[in-house]
Amino acid sequence: MPRIICAGHLNWDVTLRVDALPDPDGEVPVTDRRAGGGGSAGNVAIGLADLGCDVALLGGVGDDEEGRRAREELTDAGVDVSHVVTAPELPTTRKYIVVDSSGEVMVLGCDGANETFEASDLPESNLADAEHLHMTSQDPETAARLAERAKEHGLTVSFDPGRRIGDRGYGPAISAVEYLFLNDREAALALDAFDLTEQTLVLKRGPEGAEIRDGERVAHPGYPIDVVDTTGAGDAFAAGFIAALVDGADRERALAVANACGALVAQAPGARTSLTWDDVDAFIGE
């Protein structure tokens, strides 16, 4: 399997499960609490490693216990973390994730070290050995430069800019990528703000499945599941799509795999659920 590089946020997630979100000035009990590594780039990297890919991560953490544990989790999963930057003056970025009984998610973020890396932190030799670069939410200038460097080395590039696509100036980065991962809300913003005629849009539509648009439309209806926690489902979707794509799958197969990976994660608590090809193929019915 060819090498894939993931670049973007690496966080420490504290997930709190509740039966329902409280009303203003109200209070509800926490039914479960867990902590572990998170961040969209970290989640995608682990999903790719689970699916047998050779994957390296470019990101940033603080010089603290959370940063060390986040690195250890990635290393244990088989991800190359030699290009994860440690920022001694900043803490590892924390996200507090509240999940209600329907699996819907609310995120509270604390600033930290997850955007302290630069495009120059990725050596030329690493790019020369890779086939694909997947970027997630990060500093817009870093994203644009990473995409440019990847193109110089002949890599295909995908980008999942996340919920802040409308206010972070991602135009130069988006113009340099082939595949753009978006949910419905993000797609509405992107279609208004950017010229997307050169990009293949991979639209994540939750319970309605997913589709690819690039002048033609390929759709997959998804799978009926009982949702437990949607945290990380979009990252698992991206991991499945990229793993299938670099393995030579056609678009229908790539969407089926992506939807299966997203559904497998959404059926379990937390942002990361172990993915295997046996589980994916069983879910698809192959």
Catalytic (active-site) positions: 235
Q: Is 23 exposed, middle or buried (0-12, 13-18, 19+ CB in 10 A)?
A: exposed
Q: Among 16, 107, 97, 111, which Cα is nearest to 62's? A: 111
Q: Among 181, 203, 171, 169, which Cα is nearest to 135's? A: 181
* DSSP 8-state assignment for residue 192: H
Other beta carbons less than 10 A from residue 65's beta carbon: 11
Q: Among 139, 133, 156, 162, which Cα is nearest to 55's? A: 133
Residue 20: φ, ψ to 5°: -160, 150
Alpha-carbon gap, residue 1 to 27, rounded angstroms? 49
Contacts of 268 (CB under 8 A, 6+ apart): 228, 229
* DSSP 8-state assignment for residue 63: S
Alpha-carbon gap, residue 120 to 85, rounded angstroms? 11
> Dihedral, CA atoms, 76, 129, 51, 186, nearest 10 degrees?
100
Alpha helices of 29-160 — where are they, by DSSP H? 40-50, 65-76, 124-128, 140-152
